[in-house]
Amino acid sequence: MQLLHFAILSPFVFAFIIPFLAKYAKRVHTGWFVLILPVLLFIYFLSMIRMTQSGETLRSVLEWIPSLGINFTVYVDGLGLLFALLITGIGSLVTLYSIFYLSKEKEQLGPFYVYLLMFMGAMLGVVLVDNVMVLYMFWELTSLSSFLLIGYWYKREKSRYGAAKSLLITVSGGLCMLGGFILLYLITDSFSIREMINQVQLIAGHDLFIPAMILILLGAFTKSAQFPFYIWLPDAMEAPTPVSAYLHSATMVKAGIYVIARFSPIFAFSAQWFWIVSLVGIFTMVWGSFHAVKQTDLKSILAFSTVSQLGMIISMLGVSAAALHYGHTEYYTVAAMAAIFHLINHATFKGSLFMAVGIIDHETGTRDVRKLGGLMGIMPITFTISLIGTFSMAGLPPFNGFLSKEMFFTSMLRVTHVDLFNVQTWGALFPVLAWAGSVFTFIYSMKLLFKTFKGNYQPEKLEKQAHEAPIGMLVSPVILVALAVSLFFFPNILSYSLIEPAMNSIYPTLLDSHEKFHVHISQWHGFTAEVLMTLGIIAVGTIGYLTINKWKGIYKLFPSKLTLNRLYEKLLTIMEKGSYRVTKQYMTGFLRDYLLYIFAGFIILMSGALVLKGGFSFTTEGMAKIGIYEMILTLVMISATAATVFARSRLTAIISLGVVGYTLALFFVIFRAPDLALTQLVIETISVALFLLCFYHLPKLRLKKKTRTFRMTNFIIALGVGIIVTLLGIASSSQRTKDSIASFFTKHSHDLGGGDNVVNVILVDFRGFDTMFEITVLTIAALGIYSMIKTKVKEEGKSGE
């Protein structure tokens, strides 16, 4: 157990203490206690940068279920450390922000911070473990804690809806991913990601390669809100804003990105990976930014924007796979570099934007852009934060979003030069889509900023008198936007400290041990195509924003009945109603129907087995001869049976049943079974007497008028059962494979059992246990009958039931 193990588990330990602090230390906002932990963890992870920078990694095994190969193995490399820093860094800022956002008096702080810490620990676990099973465990814990956080205000209907939706979608994806992990285990016989990377050749040639890849990608896409699974993210905006900022923009939704980057060394050399990842990513980018423009709720805009930006990062990760084919060329690895850089940038500007929106919501009481406006003079600091955030999001200088957007274009332009995987034909699609998506990004960024802060202040529409936020609430977003600005001017502080080690994790095999990726980010390359594209975006985007009312109509071209949300709703209703209807179909409540299923099942299974396995055989060899007595008895039995069925009065039926029983006793006589005959005679007598005792009380045997089909089905089923039983009887007496063990009983009955009546010796000596429990059965039956007759439950007030 290393310090790192403890670092991952510490949020869970802390989560145990928080409820007590929330209860007994009410003077202080619980968040202050919580804040200590992410700050300490952040400092701890910062101290590891030196290690990953020099290309070293940390690996430590803590045995958990060693017999199954499931161990809590921690592994820190560039990629894991980058995410760990994001999680703890943004986590600290979000905790700080939440202290001022959530009221000590009005909200239940204990549960909130417990869930938040649970999430933080789970997320650290996802990015820092090497064992896929443990990764999966933490993965589902993030889903679960996200569910709890979205439903934090559980009295609101929409919160519960959003929480259930996100849980359904992310857990379905998580289960797919579990399937993918198990397939990888089947191929490599190991749960360790390191081991899997070492066996890439084996995985590549295996039949299960494609299924494993698709299942893992499904998990990543659902978590990272890619098309068509993004629908849970806008509904998750019902969570408190710190949660949206933390989970649904900076960390959890990037778990999918982490998985894609982490499994790149295993899958990325295949054409399928290249095409699926990059196309889903780029399409999600365009789709998300296009739909963000029409939203009117600030958080919805940010949700769709997050979807779009995540798509952008994923598309870059997808195209970075090309580098694996060309070897060490900076030409294609730039996509991976851009992806990692944008990952960091997105966390800074999106986190600050969410916080800014939270402030606006907190201080005005609404998030609807139609009600907002003219806040620039009232909330100058929030305005500045939003300005930097939105401009960075739109990809404008002098903010960090500009740099990563340029690099995004660079990587998309370079895809067109790839002559692998038939890219030549469709390669031009990438820069075009990327550009179109960026134009929409520009438009919704401007909308977000100007509709909120410019225009007329409309105090009559607001619930509260708008004013600037308290200073504590502003600290976190100010730090984030300060980062966004400074990363533009000094992007290279990240280059060799974070980005290069992370690239090393994505391409672990690409370089020789002494080489390093060339990561140098510069603000100005000269008049390249990328700059022209950005200028085009600004031009077209500005026109688009100013004329937004003219072209807004195209959103109406999408029929509201055909949205993905409708599809999701429909699917749920179909599943619920459908299963109800199906169950209703066959669970009729009629005993006869269930008996029909059982008998029909019996007939089908048995006849199927007889036919398919050729089980039927017929021989008269070794069988006893038919005597005249047997003939007569058989005839009597059959006619008595028929009489039972066709009897019109209950007396006839009971007597005929008795006849069958007595004939059976006579058979026992003929077939040399004296004890059986005796018992059968006595018991048949008692049974008939019992039937007759109940005779007066029993209802009249009514042969009700049944429909013809009713009787026909009964007859067919009964006939089937009879035939099958007959065939089985004949088949099994025609083919005896082994001799009976009867000779043992007859030989040793006297000397071992001390009796000459072999049947009795078997009953009480050789197989005495049977007899004991048979006595028990009789006792229970007697007690049951007694209690049934004696106990009379008077049901008052209850009718019918």
Question: Distance (Å, rounded) from C-alpha 490 to C-alpha 368?
Answer: 36
- Cα-flanking dihedrals φ and ψ of residue 65, to 5°? -125, 75
The answer to whether 742 contacts another protein (rule: CB under 8 A) is: yes
CA distance 645 to 628: 26
Pattern 662-701, another protein, x by CB under 8 A: --x--xx--xxxxxx--xx--x--xx--xx--x--xxx-x
Q: Is 381 in the site for another protein (CB under 8 A)?
A: no
Q: How far is the CB of 584 from another protein (least distance, A)?
A: 9
> Radius of gyration (Cα) for the chain, nearest Å?
38
Of these, 642, 651, 712, 752, which contacts another protein (CB under 8 A)? 642
Residue from 158, 726, 735, 752 touching another protein (CB under 8 A): that is 726
| Cis check: omega of the bond before 398, within 30 degrees of 0 | yes
Chosen residue from 202, 638, 712, 752 binding another protein by CB under 8 A:
638
| Backbone torsions φ then ψ of 206, nearest 5 degrees | -85, 150
Binding segment toward another protein, per CB under 8 A, in 54-62, 429-437, 491-499, 772-780: 772-780
Q: Which is nearer to another protein, 557 or 624 (CB)?
A: 624
User: Closer to another protein at the Cβ: 377 or 754?
Assistant: 754
SS3 62: strand
CB of 610 to another protein, least distance (A): 14
Residue 98 identity (one-letter amino acid): S
Q: How many CB atoms lie within 10 A of CB 618?
A: 10
Q: How many residues does the chain have?
A: 801
Nearer to another protein, 23 or 592 (CB): 592
Whether the CB-CB separation of 382 and 465 falls below 8 Å is answered with no
Is residue 623 at the binding interface for another protein, with CB under 8 A as the rule?
Answer: yes
Q: How far is the CB of 581 from another protein (least distance, A)?
A: 13
- Which long-range CB contacts under 8 A does 676-681 form with residues at least 24 apart? 676/759
- Host H or E run for residue 61: strand 58-65
Give the residue, chosen from 108, 422, 465, 588, that forms a contact with another protein under the rule CB under 8 A. 588
Buried b (16+ CB within 10 A) or exposed e, 316-354: bbbbbbbbbbeeeeeebbbbbbbbbbbbbbbbbbbbbbb
Interface with another protein by CB under 8 A: which range of 366-374, 380-388, 508-516, 657-665? 657-665
Q: Does 770 bind another protein (CB under 8 A)?
A: yes
Degrees to nearest 5, angle at CA 405 with 402 and 410: 125
Q: Which 227-246 residues touch another protein, going by CB under 8 A?
A: none
From residue 453, give the alpha-carbon distance in Å to each of 240, 242, 296, 304, 459: 22, 22, 14, 20, 13
End-to-end, the C-alpha distance of the chain in Å comes to 61
* Minimal distance, residue 577 CB to another protein, in Å: 15
Which residues inside 778-797 make contact with another protein, applying CB under 8 A?
A: 778, 780-782, 784-785, 788-789
Subset of 501-530 contacting another protein (CB under 8 A): none
Stretch that binds another protein, among 68-76, 235-243, 283-291, 745-753 (CB under 8 A): 745-753
How far, in Å, CA of 331 to CA of 241, rounded? 40
CB of 150 to another protein, least distance (A): 33
Q: What's the token pair of residue 330? A: 């900076």
> How many residues line the site for another protein (CB under 8 A)?
96
Which one among 523, 565, 634, 735 touches another protein, defined by CB under 8 A?
634
The one among 591, 738, 754, 799 contacting another protein by CB under 8 A: 591
Contact status, residue 248 vs residue 306, Cβ threshold 8 Å: yes
At residue 702's C-alpha, the angle toward residues 696 and 707, to 5°, is 165
Q: Which positions from 593 through 622 interact with another protein, judged by CB under 8 A?
A: 595-596, 599, 620, 622
Q: Which of 456, 709, 740, 799 binds another protein (CB under 8 A)?
A: 740
Q: Which amino acid appears at position 693 of this protein?
A: L
Tell me: does residue 267 bind another protein (CB under 8 A). Answer: no
749 near another protein, judged by CB under 8 A = yes
- The residue within the footprint of another protein, chosen from 103, 570, 750, 752 (CB under 8 A), is 750
Other beta carbons within 10 angstroms of residue 382's beta carbon come to: 25
Q: Could you tell me the smallest distance in angstroms from the CB atom of residue 578 to another protein?
A: 17
- Helix (H) / strand (E) element for 225: namely none
Helices (H), 151-254: 157-188, 193-198, 200-204, 209-223, 232-235, 241-245
CB nearer to another protein: pick between 563 and 588: 588
The residue (of 551 and 646) whose beta carbon lies closer to another protein is 646
* Positions 394 through 453 that interact with another protein (CB under 8 A): none
Give the whole-angstrom CA distance, residue 670 versus residue 665.
Answer: 9
For residue 463, state whether it binds another protein (rule: CB under 8 A).
Answer: no
For position 738 contacting another protein by CB under 8 A, the verdict is: no
Residue 715 contacts another protein per CB under 8 A:
yes
Which of the stretches 249-257, 342-350, 467-475, 759-767 binds another protein when contact is defined by CB under 8 A?
A: 759-767
Q: Could you tell me which residues are beta bridge partners of residue 71?
A: 63
Query: Residue 645 interacts with another protein (CB under 8 A)?
Result: yes
If binding is defined by CB under 8 A, does position 756 make contact with another protein?
yes
Told to check if 592 binds another protein by CB under 8 A, we report yes
Q: How far is the CB of 622 from another protein (least distance, A)?
A: 8
H or E element at residue 284: helix 271-292
